[in-house]
Structure 1
Amino acid sequence: MPTSGRTDPHLRRRLGVGDAVMIGLGSMIGAGIFAALAPAAAAAGSGLLIGLAAAAVVAYCNATSSARLAARYPASGGTYVYGRERLGEFWGYLAGWGFVVGKTASCAAMALTVGTYVWPAQAHAVAVAAVVALTAVNYRGVQKSALATRIIVAVVLAVLAAVVVAAFTSSAADAGHLAIGSDASVRGVLQAAGLLFFAFAGYARIATLGEEVRDPTHTIPRAIPIALEITLVVYATVAVAALAVLGPHGLGSATAPLADTVRAAGVPALVPVVRVGAAVAALGSLLALVLGVSRTTLAMARDRHLPHQLAAVHPRFEVPHHAELAVGVVVAVLAAVVDVRGAIGFSSFGVLAYYAIANASAWTLAPEEGHPPRVVPVLGLAGCVILAFALPVTSVLSGASVLAVGALVYLLRRRRAPALR
């Protein structure tokens, strides 16, 4: 096994159930809820809520598989570790490659989202400042990150609650907007589910931080479903509120769906509050993304798929400081020089490929290893494949290309050095 004989220092287990749930919430209740509803409504029309339900089912299966695997393998790296241990080195590597490359671009995009909301004229400068600040928070220890996430989640939930109250108490709300009409096609609903799925995908951050969770066999299986269930309730409530006020077509054409919702509800004073909430939510997503990418980078560096220097653990703060700094530098450079918000379709495809490998790994668990009900990884794997190929063609092509490049790099390295260690 790649793990045999490993002498790399390990991270300290500091996180309890509450901390893990908050990190999951910070990853899921992020900027996606402020932006994902509009493209999903454009795709599904009046079938938006069906798409949300489909995304939730796939997310539940993925979360259950990830939780069982994380309890079995409580180490940094998430599906990179599970794929490597259960399916073989190549599949773990492919999952890690897709995650690190795709999510690094997502980090830059999220940083630019912060800049766009905070100071549009200086979006790149604000984005770089956000990356530097959050890298510093992460560098000081995972407990500092968990505390920051608690504050962010509290602010975002308060803003979303204000949006929901404004919508449901408005005369503009119409229950007829929730009816499913002839505009809801199967492909449209699946595409909406694919778009909304990524709003749920943050529970992976709990598994990725498995090496820093106390009593992982107990904590992780509890934290992941709790975070997912809370997120589903929040998303469903917000989606119903926005649909009731704007209707499926109004929501689908909205550039800022929640800001448009409160404006249409007759409470324009809430628009600046929603903008602040979106910026804070983007910060929360960025914080969680950097945590996840740095931990997967750490795991891949331990196996020398990435430079081994990135496997270093800080002697005082007990975090993968070289990996965190490297990720921070790359994200800051990307956020400073390019606008990647419209060029990360491969990230969506890559995340679904990542979870497909997680479900395939969970299928191999034996009863004594705590395997989930067999229908869970089967449904999760099938759902990931279906949603991946229901995405826009450009996302499918770019995502498949990124995975193909990763596979080629792996094969070339194997050919040059059959024994990687």
Structure 2
Amino acid sequence: MSEGLARRLGTGDAVVVGLSAMIGAGVFAAFAPAAAAAGPWLLAALALAAVVAYCNATSSARLAALYPESGGTYVYGRRRLGPFWGYLAGWGFTVGKTASCAAMALTFGAYVAPGLSVAVVVLLLVADLRGAIGFSSFGVLVYYAIANAAALTLTREEGAPPKVVPVVGVVLCLVLAATLPWGSVVAGLAVFAVGALVWVAVHHRRSARP
């Protein structure tokens, strides 16, 4: 019996899964503040976002073709860059998606709070939706920076994309992460620092075992 993953989804299925992952509660909450922040540079910002998305998708697709395993960038980073980078990608994905869930909950509450309990209203008053979105973005951008860095190590025989694609992807992901609201950047760096310390502590304990 083969231990590999069975190919049961077609192109249409993959497109639907991808769109479902990308189009979430953010469309009800992120567009207005993003447009206000971009101002007259809105079209340029959308073009920049399209370039980042293209680089991320291309790098991820080339790596997925080479490593058809569950785990995404955790697998790619581990195989191409080393165990620590794979772990960090998984940490960033978990942190980013957890913050995304918080942002979705806040967005839902913002639309239907009048019909919900007082607890939700209090949560909306003390929580910052844009902060949750920014924190989520930081984790996801680091995740895709590692994916692009992993793709940069691919050879032509392994189906490497043009070198400019992962290079631009790494640079833009890190630049965008650094230009998020300072609170999101500080919180993101702190959480990743905690993750790195956890990794070091776990590996130190394992290496100390007889």
Range of TM-score over shorter length: 0.7 to 0.9
2:46 is the counterpart of 1:52: yes
In structure 1, the residue matched to 2:183 is: 394
State how far apart, in whole Å, the 1-side matches of 2:177 and 2:117 are. 31
| Contact 2:99-2:135 at 8 Å conserved across structures | no
AA partner of residue 114 (structure 1):
F
Q: CA RMSD in A?
A: 2.5
| Residue-pair matches, total | 202
The offset of 1:68, in angstroms, is: 0.4
| Contact 2:28-2:107 at 8 Å conserved across structures | no
In structure 2, the residue matched to 1:74 is: 68
In structure 2, the residue matched to 1:83 is: 77
- Secondary structure of the corresponding residue to residue 417 of structure 1: helix
The offset of 1:11, in angstroms, is: 5.8
TM-score if structure 2 supplies the norm length? 0.86
In structure 1, the residue matched to 2:28 is: 34
Q: How does 1:26-175 map to 2 (within 5 A)?
A: 26-118=20-112, 120-122=114-116
The offset of 1:377, in angstroms, is: 0.4
Question: Residues 24-67 of structure 1, C-alpha deviation per residue, up to 9 Å, x if partnerless?
Answer: 11122332233222122222211111111011111111110011
2:160 is the counterpart of 1:371: yes
Gaps of 5+ in 1: 1-8, 127-334
State how far apart, in whole Å, the 2-side matches of 1:75 and 1:96 are. 14
| Contact 2:131-2:183 at 8 Å conserved across structures | no
| Contact 1:359-1:381 at 8 Å conserved across structures | yes
Question: Residues 151-189 of structure 1, C-alpha deviation per residue, up to 9 Å, x if partnerless?
Answer: xxxxxxxxxxxxxxxxxxxxxxxxxxxxxxxxxxxxxxx
- Secondary structure of the corresponding residue to residue 116 of structure 2: helix
Q: Which runs of structure 1 show a deviation greater than 3 angstroms over 4 or more consecutive aligned residues?
A: 9-13, 118-121, 123-126, 338-343
State how far apart, in whole Å, the 2-side matches of 1:13 and 1:395 are. 38
The offset of 1:116, in angstroms, is: 3.4
State how far apart, in whole Å, the 1-side matches of 2:168 and 2:130 are. 30
AA partner of residue 122 (structure 1):
L
State how far apart, in whole Å, the 1-side matches of 2:39 and 2:24 are. 23
2:145 is the counterpart of 1:356: yes
| Contact 2:62-2:161 at 8 Å conserved across structures | yes
| Contact 1:58-1:383 at 8 Å conserved across structures | yes
2:193 is the counterpart of 1:404: yes
| Contact 1:362-1:377 at 8 Å conserved across structures | yes
In structure 2, the residue matched to 1:415 is: 204
In structure 2, the residue matched to 1:347 is: 136
State how far apart, in whole Å, the 2-side matches of 1:102 and 1:28 are. 13
State how far apart, in whole Å, the 2-side matches of 1:396 and 1:26 are. 27
Gaps of 5+ in 2: none
| Contact 2:74-2:87 at 8 Å conserved across structures | yes
